[in-house]
Amino acid sequence: MGIASGTLMVVIGSGPNGTTFPATVLVLGWSFAGCGVVLIQQPPGRRIGMLFLLTGVAWTLRGLLFLPPGIAQTVATMVHALPVTFLVHAVILSPGGERRDLLGRGTLVLAWLLPFTLAPDYILGDRDPSEPCMTCLSLDPGMFTSPVRIIAHLHVALLAGALLWVVVRRWHRGRGSERFLWSMNGMASIIALHMALETVAPAVLPPNLVQAARLPFNALGVTFLVMLPPVVVAGLLYVWLDHASRERDHLRRDAHARTAAALHAIQRDLHDGAQLRMLKAAIAVRLARTNAAEPAVVRSLDTAVEELREAMEDLRRLAAGNASEVLRLRGLPAALERLATGSPVPVTLYCEPMPDLSPDVGQAIYYVVSEALTNVARHAQAQSVLVTCRVTGGNLVVEISDDGIGNAVPGEGHGMGGMAQRAKLAGGEFELSSPPGGGTTVRVVIPCVSSSPTTLR
């Protein structure tokens, strides 16, 4: 808006021998060329960006009219109408570059025939070569005596009407975010009306009024042209960002649906497979308990039945995508205490007060500790385990150390790969130290999320 306002004041306040036209050419050329370079960087806007770049080059070549007569002025005359042609072509292109209909193709034909119609009018016309006009049609009241001028005026009027029709229909048929291109379509409509007024003004207005309105009319045209490229860039970027956001939401919903379907399949498989086997094992243990006579055996069987029941509950929660009930209701310290209590190997747990953790971090730590304790019971031949959980430098540090045989290797069983992957998905690091005969130490470091302290229950 600042550049447009400055351009308007400069053009209106200039004298006949000033530098208005070179300044106009510079502003218009850089406005279209700069925005064209921006659009070329985006794959959906390369065609429009190329047309904007060509429009800027064409406006720059019009500045050759100030050079001495010769090849330079001939080139400037030949490209005099090309800015309008490139501009109409860029407006006709839809934001995504879709296939154009019959009206769009007809408008493009009119635009590309315009230089051949306007060139004779420029030669016969009364417009100064340095005048910063849009179509630079002749404003001489006697134009109706020349068929060349009549054809040029009719051609521009027909092109302006077709362009206005295309823009209005596009806005009416726009869907979703494309309706937010109202600023671009509105600016294109104003330019089409400006072209139409420039065509009909000599026929309906007195000659003295036409001459008096020439300078402000040119100033308005230049102002609209300067504003059009950034308006187009802003509108197209908004549409592309909106399309990307909707595509991202669609992919997220699809991922959630696929995840839900996978969890449902896992839940069904667990219910029909592992859970059914565990239920049979629990029934067998209960039958064995009824036949047991020694109190110690009865207590052991009761403990086995309770463990099987909790294991089946864990399977149900895991199939539904939930972690431990204790972790969800009471937090990580209480869940780790529950794991330590249920471990067949004696566990010493030291858990400092820690910040409230996100569900992903809490579940990652919980399952790492659970898997580590399972590995100790199965493979380490250890007599004791030490689990520490503390906050250091904004990171949650968890270590599981045992006094077993060591010799654990990442990626070769023992669940080490799964623990490392969980730590990585939570944004943390996984370390393993397991020298032969020296026990095993698993260390996980994950960044904390907040600083609200939580105490051990």
Residue in the structure block whose two tokens are 């599981």: 400
User: pLDDT band at 96, cuts 50/70/90?
Assistant: very low
Mean local confidence (pLDDT), 154-165: 89
Contact residues for 94 (Cβ-Cβ < 8 A; gap 6+):
100, 170
pLDDT at residue number 175: 56
Handedness of CA 158, 161, 165, 171 (dihedral sign): positive
pLDDT at residue number 158: 92
Please give the residue that has the higher pLDDT: either 373 or 255.
Answer: 373
Mean pLDDT value across the chain: 77
CB 236 within 8 A of CB 95: yes
Q: Phi and psi for 401 in degrees, rounded to 5?
A: -120, 140
Query: Is pLDDT above 70 for 179?
Result: no
Query: Is pLDDT above 60 for 391?
Result: yes
What tokens appear for 28 in the block?
Answer: 């218009």
pLDDT at residue number 330: 78
Phi-psi category of residue 259: left, alpha or beta, with phi > 0 → left and psi -120 to 50 → alpha: alpha
Q: What is the CATH number of domain 330-457?
A: 3.30.565.10
Burial category of 455 from C-beta neighbours within 10 Å (exposed 0-12, middle 13-18, buried 19 and up): exposed
CA nearest to 128, candidates 15, 6, 32: 15
pLDDT at residue number 72: 61
pLDDT at residue number 97: 41
Mean local confidence (pLDDT), 335-356: 86
Query: Is pLDDT above 80 for 341?
Result: yes
pLDDT digits over 195-243, tens only?
Answer: 888 888 877 878 788 777 777 777 777 778 888 888 888 877 777 787 7
The pLDDT > 70 percentage for the chain reads 76
Mean local confidence (pLDDT), 43-69: 77
Distance from the Cα of residue 13 to its chain's centroid: 45
User: pLDDT band at 263, cuts 50/70/90?
Assistant: low
Contact residues for 423 (Cβ-Cβ < 8 A; gap 6+):
364, 368, 429, 430, 444, 445, 446
Contact residues for 312 (Cβ-Cβ < 8 A; gap 6+):
275, 278, 279, 282
pLDDT at residue number 121: 77
pLDDT at residue number 451: 38
Query: Is pLDDT above 90 for 99?
Result: no
CB 53 within 8 A of CB 36: yes
Mean local confidence (pLDDT), 292-313: 77
pLDDT at residue number 10: 47
List, as one string, the DSSP characters of 211-253.
Answer: HHHHHHHHHHHHHHHHHHHHHHHHHHHHHHHHHHHHHHHHHHH
pLDDT digits over 418-456, tens only?
Answer: 888 888 888 889 999 989 888 999 999 998 754 344 433
Mean local confidence (pLDDT), 378-392: 91
CA nearest to 116, candidates 151, 146, 143, 158: 151
CA–CA distance, 158 with 111 (Å, rounded to integer): 10
Strand partners, 396: 391, 446
Mean local confidence (pLDDT), 280-285: 78
Q: Phi and psi for 412 in degrees, rounded to 5?
A: -120, 70
pLDDT digits over 105-143, tens only?
Answer: 888 888 888 888 887 777 766 666 666 677 777 777 666
What is the Cβ-side half-sphere exposure of residue 108, based on CA atoms within 13 angstroms?
A: 14
Query: Coil, strand or helix: which one is 313?
Result: helix
User: pLDDT band at 389, cuts 50/70/90?
Assistant: very high
Least confident of 100-104, 170-174, 384-388: 170-174
Handedness of CA 305, 306, 312, 315 (dihedral sign): negative
CATH topology of domain 2-250: Rhopdopsin 7-helix transmembrane proteins (1.20.1070)
pLDDT at residue number 54: 86
Domain segments of the chain as ranges: 2-250, 330-457
Mean local confidence (pLDDT), 336-359: 85
Contact residues for 232 (Cβ-Cβ < 8 A; gap 6+):
35, 39, 48, 52, 90, 184, 187
pLDDT at residue number 449: 55
Residue in the structure block whose two tokens are 């239920």: 279
Angle, alpha carbons 115-224-34 (nearest 5°): 80
Please give the residue that has the higher pLDDT: either 185 or 334.
Answer: 334
